[in-house]
Structure 1
Amino acid sequence: MKELPKVELHLHLEGAAPPAFVRGMAAEKREDISGIFDDRGAYHYKDFWDFLKVYEAATSVLRTPDDYRRLTLAVLEESAAAGVVYSECFLSPDFCGGRDVAAWKDYLAAIRDAADQAERSMGITLRGIITCIRHFGPDKARETAICAAETAGDWVVGFGIAGDEKVLAPKDFLWSFDCAREAGLRITAHAGEWQGPQGIRDTLAALNPERLGHGVRAIEDLALVDELAERGTVLEVCPGSNVALGLYPNFRAHPINELDRRGVKVTVSTDDPPFFHSTMVREYEELHRAFDWDEGQFAKIAKASLDAAFCDADTKARIAKKLEA
C-alpha cells in the first residue's frame, strides 16, 4: 500500500501537524498546552466539538510565517512517506495573519516556499484551498474570501468552508463564495458529516460546490445519492476520521463502498491524520480489509481524485504520469 501513488484532496494543514511538532513549538514559545495531549503524547479530545477546541489550541502556537513554513515541511514529509504524490490542503487566513491580506500574503509565501522545497526533495506537489470557518461567522468569512481572492492563481486554487456544520446555514456565506468564484477559485464545502442529507441539499442549493468534504451521510437518502451521481459531485471521503469521531463504528460499516457502487465519485483522504491516528497507507489498508479493495480499485480512486483536483491541466498531466508509473 505504501508504494501505491496517491492523491489526497482533503487535508487540513494545521490538523496534520504531528503532536511532537506542536509540543516543540509550544516549548519554544514557553506555552503550556499539555492539556490537549494524552499520557502517550497523542492529541486528546472527547467528541467532535471538543476536537475543534483542541485543534484551535494546537494551532495557537503557530504564530509566524516561519512557523508555517516548518509546519508545511513536516506535514509534507509525512504525506510523501505514505506515497502521496499530489495533495490539496485547507488553509485558513483566520490562523495565518488574522485575515489581514498583507499578513496573509507573508504566511502564504512561507507555505509556498516550503511546498517548493518539498517538491524538489520529496517529489510531492501541494496546492492550497482557502477555507473560511463556519462557526466564526459570515463577517469573518468575507475577510477570508477577500484574502483568497487577492491570492488566487496557480497555487491557491480553491475556496471552501469547514468547522461546525450545526452553526448557521450555507446561504449565510453566499457572499464569500461568490467573491471566491469571481476570482476564479474552484469550490468545495464541508457537508454531510454532522448534519444529515438536508445539510447536503442546503449546501448544494446555496453554494453549488464541485466537491463536498465528507458528504457520507447522503447514504441516508438514496434519492440524494442518485442526485450526487447524476451531478458528478465528488465526495472527499475521510473514512478514518469518520470512524475515529464515532460517526461509524468501524470501516466495514462506513458507506464509502456503497456510495461508490451506486455511482458517486468518491475519493480517499485523511482529514486531520494525527488526530485520528491515520495515514493514507492506513486508510488504504483498512479499506482493503473492509471491502477487499484491490490495486485496481485504488488506481481508480487515485485517478478520480486527480480528475477532481483543482490544479491546472499541466500539473494534472505531470501527476498523471506518476500515477501511471
Structure 2
Amino acid sequence: MSSTTSPASGVSGEAPPPRIVEDCLGLVQLMSDGTVKRAPACLASADDAAPVRCKDVVYDEARNLSLRMYVPSSRAGNGGAEKLPVLVYFHGGGFIVGSFASPEFHAACARLAAALPAVVLSADYRLAPEHRLPAALEDADSIFSWLGAQEQQADPWLADAADLGRVFVSGDSAGANIAHHAAAAPGRRLAGCVLLWPFFGGERRTRSEAAYLGDAFLTLPLYDQMWRLTLPAGATRDHPAANPEAGELPPLLVAAGDRDMLIDRIREYVARVRAAAAGNRRVDLVEFPGAGHGFAILEPDGEAASELVRVVRRFVHGGDAAGPAPHSGRG
C-alpha cells in the first residue's frame, strides 16, 4: 500500500496500531482509525497515439479534478469538417478504484473516440471511502457546468472538433450509475445516455444475485462490500444513489452481459424507465449472451467488445442500437 501508518510502539498505555477493517481487492484498505491505504496505481499517459490524440484538462480546480479529452486524429485541425458528438464518460470501479488514466479505461475511451467517431471526455471523480456518495454525483454536475461554460469560451480542441449541441453521457459499472444520475438531473438536456452494465443496488436480492450467477469478476461479497464502502454512513442499498427512480431521461441505451450477476437488476431498471417513458422516448436494452460484468473492459479484443462498439455507434449516430443478442429490445 502506498500510504503509511505510525509503527507499533512497546510503550505501555499507547494506543495499538490501526487494524484493517475492510480490504477491497487488495487495492484499498479502510483502517480502524478511519484512514485509507491505497496500492500504487498503474496509469497510462496522455501521449498522442493514433488513431486519436488526447490531453488532460482540469475541470474543477477547487477539487483538483481532471478529465482526459480524446479527439480522433483524422479530425485534428480539420475545422471545415462536420463536428463530432461529445461523449462524457465515467469509468467503473465500484466508486472505489480506477481513474481515466487506468490503462483499461484509457484504451476503451480511445477506441470509442476513434470508432464512433466522437470527442470523448473521460472524467475522474472523487473516490470512496474517502469521499462517499453523493460526492461522485456532485462531481458529475461539476463537469457539466464546465462543459456548459465551453459554449462561451471553448477549449481549442472542443472548438475545433466538438458539436456541443450533441452531448451524450456514458459510463461503465459505477460510472454508468453516475451517468444515470447525470442524465436525470432536472433541466439537463442531453442527446442520449449510454449505460454499460450499470452498477445499481437494492436490499432485496434479485434472482440473478440470489442464484450467485457465475461471473469472473463481480461476486456477491464484492458487490456488498463496495456498497458498504461507498454509501453514506448508515445508508442501505435502497439509498437513491444505489437504487434510483427512473427519472426523466433522454434516449437511453443499456448494454450488459446476460451472465452478469446484476442482469436482473438491470432488466428491472430498464422496465422502470420504459414505464416512465410511456413510449415517448427511446429505451434500448442490448444483452450479450455468455458475457459477464465488464466484459468489454476485461476482454477488449473479444467479439462481444467489438459488437458493443458497433451498438453504441448506431445509437449515437441515430441508427437502431439493437444488436443480434436474443434478449435485445426497444421500448
Length-normalised TM-score, structure 1: 0.36
Length-normalised TM-score, structure 2: 0.36
Higher relative contact order (CA 8 A, sep 6+): 1
Larger-gyration structure (1/2): 2
Relative to its length, the structure with more strand (as a share) is 2
Relative to its length, the structure with more helix (as a share) is 1
